[in-house]
A = this chain, B = another copy of it.
């Protein structure tokens, strides 16, 4: 190949030997035909490649979307079962995760007819890896059954089980979590916090916001220290 300046780019090319004797002529037309064919081949290649990547991409997105639907179902789709209009406790949530499947997770569980547990956690990092940890936590809460009525105990147990799993695979991973139980019969709200931002309690009588528990900055479920903060939401 040979390079030409922009000005001369559209001129015919004269081929000469070292003594400047005429060897031949490549017309612009011919050059263009060749170049055109190259460009078109280039475009076809790119379109094919794009198609291939796009289809792989769509597969992964479909995969992640199905996983997202499961993860979000694990969080929210169950509380309408035990919190209808006629109950004293009602819940609503707003969830804006960083990625389709990730470490932002919450779970509202029925403990008894009057008592409900609210678990909120954030697994360090994001993406599917963190999502796998959230589904472990969800399963561990399920396995605790009625023992989930005790906030301190629940966080300590989750910490114990998760730490045991992670220790086996030499993995360090931080999780912050807060867990509240709300009992409509006794009017008691109990909160245990493991490094998570404190939940806010909007007091209806005064319209003021109260932090439910002091925030512990120390790394989360890796710590075994869960201060309890008990307040009575309605006196």
Residues of A within 8 A of B (CB): 10, 28-29, 32-33, 35-36, 39-40, 42-43, 46-47, 49-50, 53-54, 56-57, 60-61, 63-64, 66-67, 69-71, 73-74, 77-78, 81, 99, 101, 125, 127-129, 131-133, 135-140, 142-144, 161-162, 164-165, 168-171
A53 to B211, CA, bound (A): 44
A71 to B132, CA, bound (A): 8
Contact of B57 with A169 in the complex, beta carbons under 8 Å: no
Separation in Å of the A226 CB from the closest CB of chain B? 19
Q: Quick one: closest B residue to A75, CB to CB? A: B169
Contact of A171 with B73 in the complex, beta carbons under 8 Å: yes
Residues of B within 8 A of A162 (CB): 139
A99 to B78, CA, bound (A): 30
Q: For A28, give its contact among B29, B66, B127 (CB under 8 Å).
A: B29
A164 to B40, CA, bound (A): 58
Q: For A50, give its contact among B53, B143, B169 (CB under 8 Å).
A: B53
Separation in Å of the A68 CB from the closest CB of chain B? 9
Residues of B within 8 A of A135 (CB): 132-133, 135-136, 139
Separation in Å of the A110 CB from the closest CB of chain B? 9
Known: A66-B129, A101-B132, A137-B139. 7 other contacts (CB 8 A): A28-B29, A39-B40, A50-B53, A57-B57, A128-B131, A131-B132, A132-B132
